Structure formats: structure tokens, C-alpha cells
Structure 1
Amino acid sequence: MKKIILFVVVAIIFAVGAGVYWLFANLNDIVKTQVEKQGSHYLQTTVSLANVDLQPLKGYGDLKGFTVQNPTGYSDENAFSFDEIKLDIDIKTASQQPFVINELLVSGPSVLFEVTADGKNNLTVLKDNLSAQLPSSSDSSSSEPKPEQPKDTPAESSEPFLVAVNKVTIEGVKLTVDMTAVGQEKYQLTLPAFNASPVGVPNGLPADQVGGAIVKSMLDNIIKQAKKAVEDKVKQRAKEELKKRADEKIGGFLDKLGGN
């Protein structure tokens, strides 16, 4: 039975790929438990999921209320949360490899980019935590034995089950940038919709790596956009400060002229 991490795509493999269809009656509860457990392990912070509605044989999946708390050393706010995650499953591939997800759609995620006094940020910490748990690209196809699994994780079969996610879409990202620790303000903006990198296309990726790869790709994109937003804000603030000082000097000079 396959190890489940983070996203329901891996949970679907748990049911469909392993052929345990008798679990469908309890699949939603299983997915919720495993997403929270494995997500918390890989990101090294608390992951929670409010509701799961999976209908894999109909090519449909839906998750709601997915939240990830900030890592240690940051505020008590959530690092990010998703209103809804939808899956479009290619049911024709249920009996073959790779198992294909046509699209994974993340709608309305709220993301916090929190900068500390030493210039570090919470999202990079989460990404580094995740990267430390994922094999490198050269390792992903290796036939070497994998590290020992957590004690409560079922053993995997010797042959990995392969998955391909053709499209990952993230829309309506509500980004909060918190720079109060460095003497700046806290502000919000909405990022344009973007597509994260496809995963395991065309030949598939081992199931236990798919969820982490998707999350890492999303974090890479959001961190890049957040840093650009911070850079633009700092440049704008610097220009405003320079203009203010110039206006003050000009005003003082004109005052002197008026007094003569």
C-alpha cells in the first residue's frame, strides 16, 4: 500500500492504485487523517483538513479547509490555507501506469509571507523542510532501498506506482506580506493566476513523491512573486522618502529666500 503525503492525489492512489476498493466507504476519513499526519511530518508544522469528498470512479475529488500553520519561530497565524482543491481524474488510467490527473485546481488560497528581523521568511522555511524530505531528481528513479518509513506507515511494494499530473492551476492567491519585523508595514495583494509545473509528465513519478513535488512547485512560485512584491514596495518607499527629503530641502531654501 502506498505512502500518502499531503494532497489527495496520493490518497487516490492509495485506493485505486493499490486496488483496495473496499476502502471507498471510509476513504474520505482515511484521506483526511493521512493528509494531516503526513503533511505535518513533511512540512514540520501542523497541517489540517476540514472536509474531503472523493469520487475517484467518477473522476472527481474535492478538499476544503486545508491549512498549514507557520513554522516554529514565526507568528501564530497560518502560513497558507486553501478554500478549495479540486481534482479532475482521468479514470481511463486507473488500471495502468502512470495514473493520470488531468488537472489539480487550487482556488482562493490565502498565503502569509512573513519576514523576520534577520531577513528570513516563513515560506522558505517550509520549502526547506519539505525539500529535506524529498529525494533529489537523480534519486527519484533510483532502485536503491528507500529510508525506513515511520512506524505507523504501511510498507510499500517493491515497484513504485507511477503518477502524472498534467496541470496544476492556482487562482486567486490572497497574499499578505508582513514586514513589521523590519520596520515596514503589513499589506495585502492578490496575485494573478498561475500554473505550477506539471508533475511526473510523461512517464510518471513514484506516488510517494507526487504531493510533495506539487507543494514545492507552488511554494517556489509564490515565494518568487512575494519577493518581487517586497522589492517593489521597498523601492517605492525609498523613492517616496527621497522625494520627501528633496521637497523639505526645497521648501527650506524657498523660506530663506522669502525672508530676505
Structure 2
Amino acid sequence: MKMKKKILIGVGALVLISVILVMVLMGNLNGIVKGVIEKVGTSVTGVSVTVGAVDIKIREGSAAIQDLSVANPDGFSAKPMLDFGELAVKLNVKGKIINHVKVASPHILFEQKGKTSNFQTLQDNMSKDAEAKPEEPAEEAPPAEGEPAILQIDLIEITDAQVAVVSDLFEGTKNLTISLIKFENLKGTAEEIGKQVISQLTTQIIEEVTNQVIQKQVEKAVGEKLGDALNIFKKKE
């Protein structure tokens, strides 16, 4: 009986140690992924990218990324340019495949100054950084160890994006909602995918804001000036 009791105590201790180890490893994994997102995001965009927390559930094949924020480039306000709130992720850890990333109601700030905007400036800065980086010398047999992992994202879906538009063309802030933005079949290193997402997102945001806000405000201003000119002409008659 004493032997059985000792065995049971030993098994119980092993189980407890295993649980503690898993908790520690998961805590480290969440912290590592958080750090990678911030490091790669900042490197890709050239502005500060921060993450509040990461919660990965390997058994469920899911993850939550909370309070992902992208700062405005220099020359614009101190408010964040992108605030994603929470990203819900479905993934296959072993296959390095992210099946689905869903973002609901993120907050986006679009600032226009003169002929440029914060999104255009971000894209221009990314292009300059890419051109400035010297090409790495080719190696006959690069070591497999240490090479960046190739990832795959099947679908990124952004729904009901809340866009605040500030421009020197009009007073105050104009608001619009973009019902759906999506990116499909992305593949590459974390940095390459980051560039693809930011580039495509920037293009879509600029297009939507130009069509839904800027163009309408310009047409309104032109219409008002034309109306004023006609009124002056009528008075002269």
C-alpha cells in the first residue's frame, strides 16, 4: 500500500510539474509572438507598432491578438493611424498556416495634408527603405538553420472598418465605414507578408477615402464657388 501511495504521489507530482511547464512555455510563447509582431511590424512600416497581448491556444488552433496599434508617420498627429482592437486568428501551428484572420470594427485615421496623406507617406517610406537596403551577397549553400520561416495566410478579413478622415480641404472630421476589406493567399516570411498587407491596405484605404470623402468635398466646394459666382453675375444683371 505504501508503495502504491508513493507511486501515486510521484505521478501526481509529475502531472503538476507538466502542467506548470506547459503554462510557463505558453506564457513565453505568447510573449515571443508579441515581440515578433512588434519587431517585424516596426521594421516593415518604419513607425512604432505595439501589441497589448497575445493569447495562443494550440489545442484549439486559435489565437487572439489584442490592442494592435500602428503609429502615425512623422509630420502627422500623435494619434495612432491604425487601431485594430482584437484580431481573431485560426491557425495550423505545425503547417505554419494561418487559415483565417478576422478583425471587426477597427479604427483607422486618414490624415491628408496638401497633396499627400499619412497612408501615402507610410507607403513612400516603405518603398524608400526597401530601395536603401543593400542586396545581401549570394551564398552557395546558405545554412538552413536561422533562415526565416515561410508562412501562409489563406484569408485576412476586416469588417466594418471605422475611418476618420481629416483634411485641410474641409473643417472637422468626416467619418465613413468600409464594410469589407480582405486579402487572400498571402505567402512569404513574416516581413514579406507584413509588406503585402500594409501595401494592399494602404491602396484600398486611399481609394475608398478619395471616392467617398475627398472627391465629394471637392465637388461640393467647386459647386459652392460656382453658385457664388452665378449669384454675383445675376446681381450685376
CA distance in 1, matches of 2:100, 2:53: 20
SS at match of 2:113: coil
Using the TM superposition, give the Cα deviation of residue 103 of structure 1 relative to its aligned residue in structure 2, in angstroms. 1.2
RMSD: 3.1
Using the TM superposition, give the Cα deviation of residue 211 of structure 1 relative to its aligned residue in structure 2, in angstroms. 2.7
Question: 1:76 and 1:233, CA in 2 relative to 1: closer, same or farther beyond 3 A?
Answer: same
Q: Which residue does the alignment assign to 1:196?
A: 183
Query: What TM-score, normalized by structure 1, do the two folds share?
Result: 0.68
Q: Which residue does the alignment assign to 2:4?
A: none
Q: Which residue does the alignment assign to 2:122?
A: 126
AA in 1 matched with 2:107: S
Question: 1:219 and 1:57, CA in 2 relative to 1: closer, same or farther beyond 3 A?
Answer: farther
SS at match of 2:124: helix
Question: 1:174 and 1:88, CA in 2 relative to 1: closer, same or farther beyond 3 A?
Answer: same
Q: Which residue does the alignment assign to 2:227?
A: 243
Using the TM superposition, give the Cα deviation of residue 73 of structure 1 relative to its aligned residue in structure 2, in angstroms. 1.2
Percent of residue pairs bearing the same amino acid type: 22
Q: Which residue does the alignment assign to 1:233?
A: 217
The answer on whether the counterparts of 1:84 and 1:108 sit within 8 Å (CA) in structure 2 is no
Alignment of 1:37-56 (within 5 A): 37-56=39-58
SS at match of 1:242: helix
Q: Which residue does the alignment assign to 1:3?
A: none
Q: Which residue does the alignment assign to 1:209?
A: 192
Question: 1:32 and 1:207, CA in 2 relative to 1: closer, same or farther beyond 3 A?
Answer: closer
Question: 1:165 and 1:189, CA in 2 relative to 1: closer, same or farther beyond 3 A?
Answer: same
Alignment of 1:12-91 (within 5 A): 23-90=25-92
Using the TM superposition, give the Cα deviation of residue 129 of structure 1 relative to its aligned residue in structure 2, in angstroms. 3.0
- Describe the superposition over 1:65-114 as per-residue Cα deviations: whole angstroms up to 9, x where unpaired: 111111111111111111211111135xx1x4xx3221111221211111
Question: 1:196 and 1:134, CA in 2 relative to 1: closer, same or farther beyond 3 A?
Answer: farther
Question: 1:144 and 1:116, CA in 2 relative to 1: closer, same or farther beyond 3 A?
Answer: same
Task: Name which of 197, 201, 212 aligns with 1:218.
Answer: 201
Is 1:174 aligned with 2:170? no
CA distance in 2, matches of 1:206, 1:42: 12
Gaps of 5+ in 2: 1-23
Give the greater-gyration-radius structure (CA).
2
AA in 2 matched with 1:217: Q
AA in 2 matched with 1:103: H
The answer on whether the counterparts of 1:197 and 1:217 sit within 8 Å (CA) in structure 2 is no
AA in 2 matched with 1:235: E
CA distance in 2, matches of 1:157, 1:196: 30
Using the TM superposition, give the Cα deviation of residue 242 of structure 1 relative to its aligned residue in structure 2, in angstroms. 2.0
Query: What TM-score, normalized by structure 2, do the two folds share?
Result: 0.74
CA distance in 1, matches of 2:184, 2:224: 38
Higher RCO, Cα 8 Å, sep 6+: 1
The answer on whether the counterparts of 1:134 and 1:212 sit within 8 Å (CA) in structure 2 is no
Gaps of 5+ in 1: 1-21, 146-154
AA in 1 matched with 2:163: L
The answer on whether the counterparts of 2:109 and 2:164 sit within 8 Å (CA) in structure 1 is yes
Question: 1:55 and 1:131, CA in 2 relative to 1: closer, same or farther beyond 3 A?
Answer: farther
CA distance in 2, matches of 1:178, 1:126: 16
Number of matched pairs: 208
Question: 1:100 and 1:73, CA in 2 relative to 1: closer, same or farther beyond 3 A?
Answer: same
The answer on whether the counterparts of 1:134 and 1:209 sit within 8 Å (CA) in structure 2 is no
Question: 1:209 and 1:185, CA in 2 relative to 1: closer, same or farther beyond 3 A?
Answer: same
